[in-house]
Chains A and B, each alone.
Chain A
Amino acid sequence: MQFMLLFSRQGKLRLQKWYVPLSDKEKKKITRELVQTVLARKPKMCSFLEWRDLKIVYKRYASLYFCCAIEDQDNELITLEIIHRYVELLDKYFGSVCELDIIFNFEKAYFILDEFLLGGEVQETSKKNVLKAIEQADLLQENSPSIVLNYCR
């Protein structure tokens, strides 16, 4: 997998993970182009599309689009299930996850993703094992209030 993007129906990027080295400018360009392309597609359309020399696999969950770019020889259907397993992991961790969870606990969303996928490849598919790793980390967390992100104060 070359990268994974999560964005909202309004086109707001919520999470980005790049497994290939690209400049910031390029990342922004790709994101803009893909968000536009995917949002323009109708609901019943196929979840796969050719884009440049990559294959895009995407799926919408509630207000969020999960979009992965894979290489020519990669398997589209298993990538769809990578997305689904990631959603399940988020759901289990947050307890019926919503877009706001990912916005305001973005660090957790990243940590879970790192346990599941590393370097663009599936690292651990067992839900139990992934969540165990995250929960262990949470136990290590000293009993301090969690990070407050309201930068408006």
Chain B
Amino acid sequence: MAKSGSSGTGGRGKGHSKSKEAEIKRINKELANIRSKFKGDKALDGYSKKKYVCKLLFIFLLGHDIDFGHMEAVNLLSSNKYTEKQIGYLFISVLVNSNSELIRLINNAIKNDLASRNPTFMCLALHCIANVGSREMGEAFAADIPRILVAGDSMDSVKQSAALCLLRLYKASPDLVPMGEWTARVVHLLNDQHMGVVTAAVSLITCLCKKNPDDFKTCISLAVSRLSRIVSSASTDLQDYTYYFVPAPWLSVKLLRLLQCYPPPEDAAVKGRLVECLETVLNKAQEPPKSKKVQHSNAKNAILFETISLIIHYDSEPNLLVRACNQLGQFLQHRETNLRYLALESMCTLASSEFSHEAVKTHIDTVINALKTERDVSVRQRAADLLYAMCDRSNAKQIVSEMLRYLETADYAIREEIVLKVAILAEKYAVDYSWYVDTILNLIRIAGDYVSEEVWYRVLQIVTNRDDVQGYAAKTVFEALQAPACHENMVKVGGYILGEFGNLIAGDPRSSPPVQFSLLHSKFHLCSVATRALLLSTYIKFINLFPETKATIQGVLRAGSQLRNADVELQQRAVEYLTLSSVASTDVLATVLEEMPPFPERESSILAKLKRKKGPGAGSALDDGRRDPSSNDINGGVEPTPSTVSTPSPSADLLGLRAAPPPAAPPASSGAGNLLVDVFSDGPAAQPSLGPTPEEAFLSELEPPAPESPMALLADPAPAADPGPEDIGPPIPEADELLNKFVCKNNGVLFENQLLQIGVKSEFRQNLGRMYLFYGNKTSVQFQNFSPTVVHPGDLQTHILPLAVQTKRVAAQVDGGAQVQQVLNIECLRDFLTPPLLSVRFRYGGAPQSLTLKLPVTINKFFQPTEMAAQDFFQRWKQLSLPQQEAQKIFKANHPMDAEVTKAKLLGFGSALLDNVDPNPENFVGAGIIQTKALQVGCLLRLEPNAQAQMYRLTLRTSKEPVSRHLCELLAQQF
């Protein structure tokens, strides 16, 4: 057969390719040769044409692009030699080209073959339609194929191909497949003598009946009787359709699937027969295997699992549900990992049935054991899902404590999900709220980084609403804060709770007011701006709660580091609180700083978040870009603090965090009314003149760089041993896409694969930036020689480096499951177009790994928003009227056109948004200045959405031509 002919010679050809380059060279030579043959004067005979078309296919399948030969392949279709036709069809199937001229020719050839009455040719044509499945083919053939399918004289093999060909066309364009008289006859194919025809027909019917259940209803009884015949047949009855002693496993599974499209049969006789089948399958599972081969057990169990799915789908036979559960229980301890995985997965759905919930619960110990001991993370994930599904009031404490224990070693990819699940279970099944508080604090302790704001807002909300737990909560957070290193989220929760309820534990000398204060204040300097802002609010609350701390706290507020803090928000709070505490009488203070009123009950936002995560598209690689666009990730750059969420997150606005602080700096007379709001906002709410203050204000921890600061001087302090730019590989193909996600935000996951996760947090102010990179080792093996390097290619012509990037080295070893952090200080010296590159190299299990990404530093990061009146805007707009100063792009919307989202993105991009400037309120107008050390570039922008056409027009005007163009390109990709 074919083997002897070609493998030998071909193998030699391959073996000669010593390197990729040599292979490419050889292929190019061969492509040139084939091209010349095709173009040559001498007409090629069919055989040569086939040979060269086949070679082209081979080259394509090696991964090279092919842009010719289509015409020759189409010519082969009309050959009357079978193999020539076959190769022609294969080429078309693999390399379909939407060239309309060709499609017409191809369709013509298919039409001829379909009409040929030669079954082999007809099958080839049908395979081609099924493989291409394009709309054009649907238009040409969707009406003919049903006829071929039900024609009395069609060969079995033709019927099979026609059924699945029709299925493919129906999936691609359902509107093109006309229902009609043939549908009834298709259903009767379930009775066909030929098992292959039945097998193909069931797939078609399963798909069609979903749209028109009533038209196909008769299939139920036919499917049941067919299934019953198979299930009760002896293992040899079906001859070649028996697979490792299992009769017709594929057909059985398909029939069971088909039945899941309908409710239980109404006809009692049919139903009785079906239940008998299901019982037979369950019984057979208990019989000793007829073969030791894994194929036997797989085929048998495939039917069993599909049977259980049908039982769960019906959810009406308590007896069968419990039997199914017991069967799955056996599989939980099976030595085959695959069966354990499927049993866990299937039990998850059983847990939600009222009939089997209790039966599922009896397996709790096995499942907990699986969570602890399974070696495969995907199996552990299933176990965690099942524990969540089987949890109720009776076992919540056990399950939550096991999940907490698991969390300590859980894989990065699923930590956040586990945290959410624990938080939900703890709240849902809390009998006493002290347990709930303990659980959430444990979550923060074990996996603080993965505790999202929804989770810790929720605990504050619940503590505020339930006075029976407030004293306990205060005591517990006080104890938790004693730990030498506690997570910042703990400080936030602790600060808030002590500020509200610290008085409840103040009677104990061990937690007297001064002790509480000094404990909190000992954490202050290590915290981010957002947390420090929250702590300042706690301090002013302390002054009200504990007058004896007033002098100390006033001293803290008065300190230069607060009153002259570089961060405007902190400075403002310090000034206001200091003045408030000095001028307000005790009564006024008590009114202003009264305890928070209870929050109205609403649906838990944590639950909403879990649903979001589980929603479509939220794959295992949880990158921010794929999340719900309305979630706050998308505009990380605008988010003043983690708590001022731009979308109405129930708990967030409940906490009063969205209220705007007083507009300008601090007059003490700004009044108690304003302050009341501000006291509880734990961060600067969007305040236009402040511009974007990213989540964690790293920069403010720095003193403003003095002239002798190393940051400004060192252009590229990378040690000499580090690879220069020439040693760094090209960025990975996704690098641009990843970079784009960060144009309008500053924080998120930059990259993630099986081994490594790279997270970014950054802040930019004026022409300076600081970036934290977090490298997480997702494996259990240590990374060695770990070395991330940042290089900036700079401007090739001038050799002037536009960015100064100073990096610190990181440890060369990263333990399995550990995370290391790298700090980058960035100074923008002049405008630039290309971002710096981040190259990460390490050895994993001996194999060298390397990866080059684009660092999310784009010119717009150095934007400073500028407010201006309409008149000024138009004047400047006119001043920038040289053609090269303007860049414009008209493009289609890639995302839903939501004005709020657009606004958030523009703010995240860095410009100020100017209202009442554009006469059309739908349009957006913005202004800002790009700050570089050498120069400032004023930028004006205008974005005009056209909802009807789903298009945007974006216009940028700046004083520097390349900047206009570059900003326009960057921004246009965001909508």
Interface residues, chain A, with chain B CB atoms under 8 Å away: 13, 15-16, 19, 21, 29, 36-37, 40, 42, 44-53, 73, 75-78, 80-82, 84-85, 93-95, 100-101, 103-108, 110-111, 114, 118-129, 133, 136-138, 140-142, 144-153
Which among B61, B82, B123, B734 is the interface contact of A140 at CB below 8 angstroms? B82
In contact, A137 and B620 (Cβ under 8 angstroms): no
Residue from A13, A42, A119 with most neighbouring chain B CB atoms (10 Å): A119
Q: A residues within 8 A CB of B584?
A: none
**CB within 8 Å for A106 and B57 given contacts A118-B164, A141-B83:** yes
CB distance from B309 to the nearest CB of A (A): 8
Residue of A nearest to B96 (CB): A21
Cβ–Cβ < 8 Å partners of A51 in chain B: 619-620
Please measure, in the bound complex, the distance between the C-alpha atom of A142 and the C-alpha atom of B163, giving whole angstroms.
31
Q: Give the segment of B223-231, B249-257, B823-831, B903-911 that binds chain A.
A: B249-257
Whether the Cβ atoms of B86 and A137 lie closer than 8 Å is yes
Residues 2-44 of B contacting A (Cβ, < 8 Å): 2-3, 5-7, 9-14, 16, 26-27, 30
Chain A positions within 8 Å of B61 at CB level:
13, 15-16, 106
The answer to whether A78 touches B250 (Cβ under 8 A) is yes
Of all chain B residues, the one with the shortest Cβ separation from A73 is: B257
Q: Are A107 and B13 in contact (CB under 8 A)?
A: no
Q: A13-B63, A53-B617, A76-B342 are in contact. Are A125 and B130 (CB under 8 A)?
A: no
Assuming A46-B376, A48-B338, A122-B203, what are 19 further A-B pairs, CB within 8 angstroms?
A16-B61, A45-B375, A50-B381, A73-B257, A77-B301, A82-B250, A100-B11, A104-B10, A104-B11, A105-B3, A107-B57, A118-B164, A120-B168, A125-B248, A137-B82, A140-B82, A147-B51, A149-B10, A151-B27
Given B172, B254, B295, B734, which contacts A21 in the complex, CB threshold below 8 Å?
Answer: B172
- A78 & B249 in contact (Cβ 8 Å cutoff): yes
A104:B299 contact, CB within 8 angstroms: no
Partner pick for A149 among B54, B81, B168, CB 8 A cutoff: B54
Cβ contacts under 8 Å, B755 to chain A: 40
Please measure, in the bound complex, the distance between the C-alpha atom of A126 and the C-alpha atom of B249, giving whole angstroms: 11
Residue A150 contacts which of B9, B200, B203, B340 (CB distance < 8 angstroms)? B9
Are B243 and A121 in touch, CB under 8 angstroms?
Answer: no
The answer on a CB contact under 8 Å between B164 and A46 is no
Given the known A-B contacts A100-B7, A147-B51, A148-B9, are A133 and B157 also in contact in the complex, defined by CB atoms under 8 Å?
yes
A36 and B753 contact, Cβ closer than 8 Å, known pairs A78-B299, A85-B243, A147-B51: yes
B378 within 8 A of partner (CB): yes
Could you say which residues of chain A place their CB within 8 Å of the CB of B379? 46
Closest 8 CB pairs of A and B: A146-B5, A119-B168, A77-B302, A150-B13, A140-B82, A151-B30, A104-B10, A78-B302
In the bound assembly, the distance between CA atoms of A144 and B83 in angstroms comes to: 10
A119 pairs with B342, CB closer than 8 A: no
Known: A53-B619, A107-B90. Contact between A101 and B7, CB under 8 A?
yes
Give residues in B with beta carbon < 8 Å to A: 1-3, 5-7, 9-14, 16, 26-27, 30, 47, 50-51, 54-55, 57-59, 61, 63, 81-83, 86-87, 90, 93-94, 120, 123, 126-127, 130-131, 133-134, 157, 160-161, 164-165, 167-168, 171-172, 195-196, 199-200, 203, 240-241, 243, 248-251, 253-254, 257, 260, 295, 298-299, 301-302, 305-306, 337-338, 340-342, 375-376, 378-379, 381, 616-617, 619-620, 733-734, 753-755
CB A78 to nearest CB in B, in angstroms, measures 4
Q: Which residues of A contact B82 (CB under 8 A)?
A: 137, 140-141
Please, how many angstroms separate the alpha-carbon atoms of A17 and B694 in the complex? 46
Inter-chain CA distance A140–B81, complex, in Å, is: 8
| Known interface pairs A107-B57, A146-B6; A48-B619 also in contact (CB < 8 Å) | no
Does B240 lie within 8 Å of A128, measured CB to CB? yes
Contacts of A150 in B (CB 8 A): 9-10, 12-13
Chain A residues near B30 (CB, 8 Å)? Answer: 151-152
Query: How many angstroms between the C-alpha atoms of A29 and B621 in the bound complex?
Result: 15
Contacts A77-B302, A119-B133, A123-B196; A50 near B13 (Cβ below 8 A): no
CA distance A58 to B629 in the complex (A): 33
Given A19-B168, A53-B616, A78-B250, CB of A123 within 8 Å of CB of B199? yes
A151-B120 contact given A51-B620, A81-B243, A85-B243, CB 8 Å threshold: no
Q: Across the interface, name the chain A residue whose C-beta is closest to B54.
A: A147
Q: Report which of A48, A114, A122, A127 forms a contact with B378, defined as CB distance below 8 A.
A: A48
- Determine the distance from Cα of A78 to Cα of B14 in the docked complex, in whole angstroms: 36
Q: Are A145 and B81 in contact (CB under 8 A)?
A: no
> A149–B6 contact, CB under 8 A?
yes
A105 near B6: Cβ-Cβ < 8 Å: yes
B344 to chain A, nearest CB (A): 10
Q: Are A81 and B302 in contact (CB under 8 A)?
A: yes
Whether A125 and B378, one on each chain, are in contact in the complex, defined by CB atoms closer than 8 angstroms, is no
A114–B341 touching, CB < 8 Å: no
Q: A101 with B196: in contact, given A48-B342, A140-B120, A142-B81 (CB under 8 Å)?
A: no
Contact between chains at B5 and A147 (CB < 8 Å) = yes
| Chain B residues, Cβ within 8 Å of A73 | 257, 260
Instruction: Determine whether the beta carbon of A136 is less than 8 Å from that of B199.
Output: no
Q: Is the CB of B378 within 8 A of A45?
A: yes
Find out whether the CB atom of A142 lies under 8 angstroms from the CB atom of B3: no
- Residues of A within 8 Å of B301, CB to CB, are 77
The complex places the Cα of A36 from the Cα of B250 at a distance, in Å, of 30
Chain A residues whose C-beta falls within 8 Å of the C-beta of B167 in the assembled complex: 119, 121
CB-nearest residue of chain A to B240? A126
In the assembly, what is the distance between CA of A64 and CA of B347, in Å?
Answer: 33
Which partner residue on chain A sits nearest B374 by CB separation? A46
Question: Are the CB atoms of B196 and A124 closer together than 8 Å?
Answer: yes
Most B Cβ at <10 Å: residue of A75, A94, A101, A142: A75
Residues of A within 8 A of B734 (CB): 29
What chain B residues lie within 8 Å of A80 (beta carbons)? 298, 338
| B83–A142 CB distance below 8 A | yes
How far in angstroms is the closest Cβ of chain A from B463?
A: 36
Set A29, A50, A108, A126: member contacting B620, Cβ < 8 A: A50
* Chain A positions within 8 Å of B260 at CB level: 73
CA distance A138 to B14 in the complex (A): 26
Question: Looking across the interface, which residue of chain B has its beta carbon closest to that of A150?
Answer: B13
A122 touches B250 (CB 8 A): yes
Report whether B9 and A129 are in contact in the complex, using a CB–CB cutoff of 8 Å: no
By the criterion CB–CB under 8 Å, are B253 and A75 in contact?
yes
* Complex interface: chain B residues within 8 A of A140 (CB): 82-83, 120
A81 touching B378 in the complex, CB below 8 Å, given contacts A137-B82, A145-B5: no
Q: What B residues does A152 contact at CB under 8 A?
A: 12-13, 16, 26, 30
Please name the residue on chain A nearest to B127 by beta carbon. Answer: A114
A82–B157 alpha-carbon span in the complex (Å):
19
Residues of B within 8 A of A110 (CB): 90, 93-94
Give chain B nearest CB distance to A39 CB in angstroms: 9
A113 to B172, CA, bound (A): 21
Contact B196 A129 (CB under 8 A): yes
> Is A45 a contact of B120 with CB atoms below 8 Å?
no
A55 to chain B, nearest CB (A): 10
How far apart are B384's CB and chain A's nearest CB, in angstroms?
Answer: 13
Asked whether A46 lies within 8 Å of B2 as measured between CB atoms, the reply is no
List residues of chain B with CB within 8 A of the CB of A107.
Answer: 54, 57, 86-87, 90
Question: Can you name 8 A-B pairs with beta carbons within 8 Å?
Answer: A19-B168, A77-B338, A121-B200, A122-B199, A124-B200, A138-B1, A147-B87, A150-B9
Task: Report the nearest A residue to B196, measured CB to CB.
Answer: A124
Cβ-defined contact, A129 with B376, below 8 A: no
- From A15, A147, A153, B6 is in contact (CB under 8 Å) with A147
Most buried by A among B1, B123, B240: B1
Residue ID in chain A nearest B63 by CB atoms: A13
- From the candidates A77, A100, A103, A147, name the one contacting B299 in the complex (CB within 8 A): A77
Chain B residue numbers with a CB within 8 Å of A153 are 13
The CA-CA distance from A75 to B199 in the complex, in Å, is 15
Q: Quick one: closest B residue to A119, CB to CB?
A: B168
- Assembly CA distance A119 to B786 (angstroms): 46
Asked if A103 and B14 make an inter-chain contact with CB atoms under 8 angstroms apart, the answer reads: yes
Smallest Cβ distance from B230 to chain A, in angstroms? 12
Closest chain A residue, CB of each to CB of B131: A114
